[in-house]
Amino acid sequence: MEPHERISAKLSKFRPSLTLALKTLVGERVSRGLPVYDFGLGETKGELDPPIREAGERAFREMDTMYSDPAGLPELRRRVLDWLDVASHYDVGNVVISTGAKQSLFNIFMAVCNPADCVLFDAAPWVSYQPLAVMAYAFPTMVLPLAGGERALKVTPADLERNLDSRPHTKLFLVNNPVNPTGQLYSHSEINALLDVCVERQVYFVLDRLYWRIVFDGASYPEPRVDEATRPWLIQVDGLSKNFRRTGGLRIGWTVGPDDLTGAMINLQSHYTANPSVPTQRAALAAIGREYDLSLVRELQDRRDLLLWCARGMPHVRIWPTPAAFYSFWDVAGCLGKRTPSGETIQTADDVAAYLVREAGVVTASGRAFMQDGFLRLSFATPEEEIRSGMAAAAEALGRLS
């Protein structure tokens, strides 16, 4: 067997995550005793809420460790309906609990797509959408908005219609709201106008709402319209990873969708993983089974404001507003073509990201991971001191580009 035949052609196409190269640079700085400011991670830090921890501990203590229903614990499935305030539209049979929102998304692609069916993503798709779709033999395409300016990277109904016209085999449109990486928030009318297009064209509308609790400045989450017309086409994806502190590793996600699709996903999941870990389902029940604690949102809003204040006047960079999620999105087109003090020319957002790590210890995520070169994503789910020192170091390093 040839070396290249040892791994399937399908998987050989995937490149490891772009953040790996940065990890090497971080390692070099750490080994030289230099500071590192981490704005790269897409997760919250802090303390796990005691009720969440205790529910998981109790499950182990009481040996609540046997298989559950493959679709998840019925009480957790019921709770998800209350959490999303959709109990009057759906019942427990419309919910599947999975091993993180990643598995929820993969279930959807697998359940909906035949080989070569097209799936449409919004303009800056989260890193794993594409590999997950390809693994399900679907053909992913980004919907690129024609409008720029304030609306940049938000898809309009006209953008979606144009793409549906040119791709008759489209099965679904996936939109993330709030958007990782841009921190944008589609409004109520924007999200429902896109949903209407999907309903009219009989295409599934997949709403990844993983960050939906984290909306700032007193705004409320723009809910999609659930009614007789939208129910057959609307699938909502959510989970435990982002709206609580330190819960990404618990690996719990869920979907709420139409009966037939949910049945197909349960069938699939029953064969390849069955239920997610029962103790973490118990932990999830404790998390979403009580009133949501807004202190995380307040803390993240303060950090957003701090980052914006510390980053004001950042050389060669335009910073987008962040109404939701915990990412600051930086347009770094102004850095491209500039020279570093050691004489290299910055050509891509990857180069900017590498320069910032090497020179300033500031770790970011390059927009190229989200199919948008010319941008950086910075997570501000980061301690205040790290934000202050990191922004000062970034400003100093960017100021040395000429």
Give ∠ CA 50-180-40 in degrees, rounded to 5.
Answer: 70
CA distance linking residue 158 with residue 149, whole number of Å: 17
With CB under 6 A as the contact rule, the residue among 159, 208, 331, 359 that binds ligand PLP is 208
Neighbouring-strand partners of residue 365:
377
Helices (H), 167-294: 188-201, 259-272, 278-288
Residues in region 47-66 near ligand PLP by CB under 6 A? none
**In the numeric block, which tokens belong to residue 219?**
């705004």
Pick out residues in 168-197 that bind ligand PLP (CB under 6 A). Answer: 176, 180
Give the contact letters, 10-49, x = binds to ligand PLP (CB under 6 A), - = no. Answer: --------------------------------x-------
365 binds ligand PLP (CB under 6 A): no
> Contact region for ligand PLP (CB under 6 A) — 13-21, 94-102, 337-345, 378-386?
94-102
Instruction: Please identify the residue of the shown chain whose CB is closest to the bound ligand PLP.
Output: 100
Q: With respect to ligand PLP, which residue has the nearer C-beta, 94 or 255?
A: 255
With CA atoms as reference, report the closest residue to 115 among 173, 169, 168.
Answer: 169
Site mask, ligand PLP, residues 214-253, x = CB under 6 A? Answer: -------------------------x-x------x----x
Query: Measured from the CB atom, is 182 or 340 closer to ligand PLP?
Result: 182
186 phi/psi in degrees, rounded to 5: -65, 140
Burial class (CB in 10 A: 0-12, 13-18, 19+), 66: exposed
Minimum distance between the CB of residue 179 and ligand PLP, rounded to whole angstroms? 8
> Rule CB under 6 A: is residue 101 a binding residue for ligand PLP?
yes
Q: Which stretch binds ligand PLP (CB under 6 A): 5-13, 67-75, 96-104, 213-221?
A: 96-104
Output the smallest distance, CB 78 to ligand PLP, in A. Answer: 20
- For the chain, the farthest-separated pair of C-alpha atoms sits apart, in whole angstroms, at 63
Q: 183-210: string of b/e by CB count within 10 Å (b at 16+)?
A: bbbbeeebbbebbbbbbebebbbbbbbb
Residue position matching structure tokens 């997610």: 276
Distance CA 91, CA 101 (A): 20
Q: Which stretch, 97-105, 307-315, 327-335, 370-378, contacts ligand PLP (CB under 6 A)?
A: 97-105
Q: Which stretch binds ligand PLP (CB under 6 A): 100-108, 148-156, 162-170, 356-364?
A: 100-108
> Computed over its alpha carbons, how large is the radius of gyration of the chain?
22
Closer residue to ligand PLP in complex, CB, 140/253: 253
Q: Out of 25, 71, 207, 210, point to the residue binding ligand PLP (CB under 6 A).
A: 210
**Concatenated DSSP letters of 69-133:** -TT--HHHHHHHHHHTT-TTT--GGGEEEESHHHHHHHHHHHHHPPTT-EEEE-SS--TTHHHHH
For the segment 253-292, give every residue that binds ligand PLP (CB under 6 A): 253
Q: Binding residues for ligand PLP, per CB under 6 A?
A: 42, 100-102, 126, 176, 180, 208, 210, 239, 241, 248, 253
